[in-house]
A and B are shown apart, each in its own frame.
Chain A
Amino acid sequence: MDQINWHTFFFLLSALGACTFALMVVFTSNIVRMAFFLVLSLTSTAGLFFLAGADFVGAMQIMIYVGGTMVLLVFGVMLTAQERFVSLKTSGGTWSLAALAGGALLAVLLQTAFSVDDWKAGDTAQAGQSQTTATRIGLGLLGARFDEGTSGYLLPFEIVSIHLLVVLIGAAYLARAKRRAKPSADNPADRSD
């Protein structure tokens, strides 16, 4: 009996978490629970990142996604979570169609994933020797890639900076409190359900 490969064990643990919670997100109709399961799924994904040697990205995954984006989403949920919107039921037809399409896609993707022999097993014994990546990523973002000898990602970094600024202003503009428009006949919001 071979020795348990702990790397694999932890991978399976994280993968199981990530997939399970993702499925829970799909099958929960309560929006608050969805948010909760999403947090768990993303955190599990961060674990996968760590196991793949991407310690910095995993940390960012927890900080930005779980700490930032999800807080944002939860805020959204709380702001809009009136009783009648908390759990909106989906019709069975949609479910079955979605399952059909999703199943087809999954089948294709899985078939692709396992179609290359080289990809089926790595040399995870080296995982213990892997270096931290934060310094290299920081330098890469500032335009220096000493390991590759090529230029880095300064321009995309700057573009993303500007992009975030624009998004900040745009989001603030879009979400600002507006004077409520007078209800009118052709306003779809006033249609009785």
Chain B
Amino acid sequence: MTNLLTQPVGVSHYMAVGAVMFVCGIVCMATKRNALGVLMGIELVLNGANINFIAFGSAYLQKDSAMSLGLDGQLIALFVIVLAAAEAAVALAIALNFYNNHHSIDVDRADELKG
């Protein structure tokens, strides 16, 4: 077992962190009954994805730096952040509307589409 602290990190480590955040977000979405909790899960998912973009865009996290996405990864991560903000605004508006109509924030109550 090599000492983790002495080794340089790579894309794989970043991907592991991203995977953990992604799965946390997914589980959050699946288990939270509060609409805002679901929203937070989505934020986590997006963040997990963003970590991957940044990792692949980094110039020194891979042995062959020519394989990195370079600046494109960062730009796409920026767009994801912006879209996440927009998504958060709309989702929050929907949540408030839902709350106004149902006097509840419990997504399990929103079962009008139940077959």
**In the complex the two chains form, is B50's CB within 8 Å of A5's CB?**
no
Known: A11-B9, A23-B24, A175-B92. A2 touches B3 (CB 8 A): yes
Residues on A with beta carbons closer than 8 Å to the beta carbon of B16: 15, 110, 113-114
Chain A 19-56, CB within 8 Å of chain B: the 1/0 string? 10011011000010011001001100100110011101
Known: A5-B7, A35-B40. A88 touches B28 (CB 8 A): no
Chain A 96-125, CB within 8 Å of chain B: the 1/0 string? 011101110110011011101011111111
**In the complex the two chains form, is B89's CB within 8 Å of A22's CB?**
no
Known: A69-B85, A127-B60. A113 touches B15 (CB 8 A): yes
Q: Is A147 an interface residue (CB 8 A)?
A: yes
**In the complex the two chains form, is B89's CB within 8 Å of A64's CB?**
no
**In the complex the two chains form, is A98's CB within 8 Å of B90's CB?**
no
Interface of B: prevailing SS:
helix
Residue in A61, A116, A136 whose CB lies within 8 Å of B81 = A61
Cα–Cα, bound, A73→B37 (Å): 10
B contacts, CB < 8 Å to A: 3-28, 30-37, 39-41, 43-44, 47, 50-51, 54-55, 57-65, 67, 70-71, 73-75, 77-79, 81-86, 88-90, 92-97, 99-106, 109, 111-112
**In the complex the two chains form, is A170's CB within 8 Å of B40's CB?**
no
**In the complex the two chains form, is B70's CB within 8 Å of A147's CB?**
yes
**In the complex the two chains form, is B58's CB within 8 Å of A54's CB?**
yes
A contacts, CB < 8 Å to B: 1-5, 7-9, 11-12, 15, 18-19, 22-23, 25-26, 31, 34-35, 38, 41-42, 45, 48-49, 52-54, 56-57, 60-61, 64-65, 68-69, 72-73, 75-77, 79-80, 85, 88-90, 94-95, 97-99, 101-103, 105-106, 109-110, 112-114, 116, 118-127, 130, 133, 136-137, 140-141, 145, 147-148, 153, 156, 160, 163-164, 167-168, 170-175, 177-178, 180-181, 188-189
**In the complex the two chains form, is A121's CB within 8 Å of B89's CB?**
no
**In the complex the two chains form, is A174's CB within 8 Å of B94's CB?**
yes
Residues on B with beta carbons closer than 8 Å to the beta carbon of A88: 32-34, 37, 106
Known: A19-B20, A73-B88, A148-B71. A118 touches B64 (CB 8 A): yes
A97 vs chain B, min Cβ distance (A):
8
> Counting chain B CB atoms within 10 Å of each CB, which of A164, A168, A174, A177 scores highest?
A174
B91 vs chain A, min Cβ distance (A):
9
**In the complex the two chains form, is A109's CB within 8 Å of B22's CB?**
yes
Residue in A19, A163, A188 whose CB lies within 8 Å of B109 = A188
**In the complex the two chains form, is B90's CB within 8 Å of A170's CB?**
yes
Residue in B9, B59, B81 whose CB lies within 8 Å of A65 = B81
Residues on A with beta carbons closer than 8 Å to the beta carbon of B105: 80, 85
**In the complex the two chains form, is B77's CB within 8 Å of A54's CB?**
yes
Residues on B with beta carbons closer than 8 Å to the beta carbon of A167: 86, 89-90
Known: A54-B74, A140-B75. A102 touches B51 (CB 8 A): no
